[in-house]
């Protein structure tokens, strides 16, 4: 239990611009949550309960990116309500797939999609939570790994550091006995710079890693870019490689913009 708290820690789950996939990962962890369920109180979770208790909360789990003026104000309120704030998923930690708008004119998209664009109020960019408020821990993935999510909650409750891997997907490939696609097939794969957590699911099915879990610790994207070029991949394709679920993560953003400039 969190040090200094004589009662069960109160958990709140908040949603911003996202697909709800990371919240569903939490709901999907029914059996795993039983181990910590008696130690916490789920005080606020609109996705799963009609009971909404007011803050403050001991742990706040935030899914989604900031894309509107309203959300930019609301995240400030959420931060004030939560003793520990954790962002979950690619949208909350790196802006999500919607951050692709950051390289274009968002107003132009609105004009083409909506019959009454004057009804739509949005920010020019989609940005991660950490660009707006201090964040205590980031849990990556699109969606997050449910076992990592349960480990995170258990660690915060126990007052210890979460045991979340920081190594790359390549190590998961080795553990699963997956032959390296870049070496064997000359395929583009973001595994060497992507944080582990998916179990190397794409390489196991013969596809290069798409970087769903974002950049690993000390990701050497410059080296991987040169390897891609050595495989004959054009810079335009390399820029697209780094612009997917975690496009706005600074390591991937830097790599894509460097390739785009060439």
pLDDT computed for residue 6 by the predictor: 54
Q: How confident is the model at residue 31 (pLDDT cuts 50, 70, 90)?
A: confident
H/E element holding 71? helix 69-81
- Residue appearing with tokens 């394709």: 237
Q: Report, as an integer, the average pLDDT of 102-113.
A: 91
At residue 250, does pLDDT exceed 80? yes
At residue 26, does pLDDT exceed 90? no
pLDDT computed for residue 1 by the predictor: 44
Distance CA 93, CA 163 (A): 18
- The model's pLDDT over 192-229, given as tens digits with 9 standing for 90+, comes to 999 999 999 999 999 999 999 999 999 999 999 999 99
Average predicted confidence (pLDDT) for the chain: 92
Q: How confident is the model at residue 5 (pLDDT cuts 50, 70, 90)?
A: low
Q: By CB neighbour count within 10 A (0-12 exposed, 13-18 middle, 19+ buried), where does 112 fall? A: exposed
CB burial readout 178-201, b (16+ within 10 A) else e: beebbeeeebbbbbbbbbbbbebe
Centroid of chain to Cα 64? 8
Domain-wise residue ranges, the chain: 10-158, 169-261
Instruction: State the CATH class of domain 10-158.
Output: alpha beta
Of 37, 23, 132, give the one whose Cα is nearest residue 88: 23
* Of 68-72, 154-158, 210-214, the least confident: 154-158
At residue 34, does pLDDT exceed 90? no
The residue among 156 and 58 whose pLDDT is bigger is 58
């Amino acid at each position: 239990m969190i040090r200094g708290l004589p009662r069960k820690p109160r958990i709140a789950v908040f949603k911003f611009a996202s697909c709800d996939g990371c919240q569903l990962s939490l709901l999907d962890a029914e059996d795993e949550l039983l181990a910590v369920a008696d130690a916490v109180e789920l005080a606020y979770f609109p996705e799963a309960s009609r009971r909404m208790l007011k803050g403050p909360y001991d742990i706040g789990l935030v899914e989604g990116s900031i894309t509107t003026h309203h959300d930019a104000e609301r995240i400030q309120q959420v931060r004030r309500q939560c003793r520990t704030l954790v962002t979950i998923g690619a949208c909350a930690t790196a802006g999500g797939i919607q951050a692709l708008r950051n390289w274009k004119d968002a107003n132009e998209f609105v004009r083409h999609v909506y019959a009454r664009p004057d009804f739509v109020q949005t920010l020019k960019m989609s940005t991660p939570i950490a660009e707006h408020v201090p964040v205590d821990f980031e849990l990556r993935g699109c969606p997050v790994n449910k076992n990592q999510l349960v480990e995170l909650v258990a660690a915060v409750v126990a007052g210890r550091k979460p045991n979340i891997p920081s190594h790359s997907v390549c190590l998961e490939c080795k553990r699963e006995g997956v032959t390296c696609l870049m070496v064997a097939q000359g395929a583009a794969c973001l595994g060497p710079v992507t944080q582990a957590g998916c179990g190397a699911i794409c390489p196991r099915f013969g596809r290069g890693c798409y970087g769903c879990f974002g950049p690993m610790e000390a990701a050497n994207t410059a080296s991987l870019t040169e390897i891609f070029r050595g495989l004959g991949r054009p810079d335009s394709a390399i820029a697209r490689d780094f612009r997917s679920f975690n496009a706005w993560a600074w390591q991937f953003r830097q790599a894509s913009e460097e390739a785009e400039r060439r």
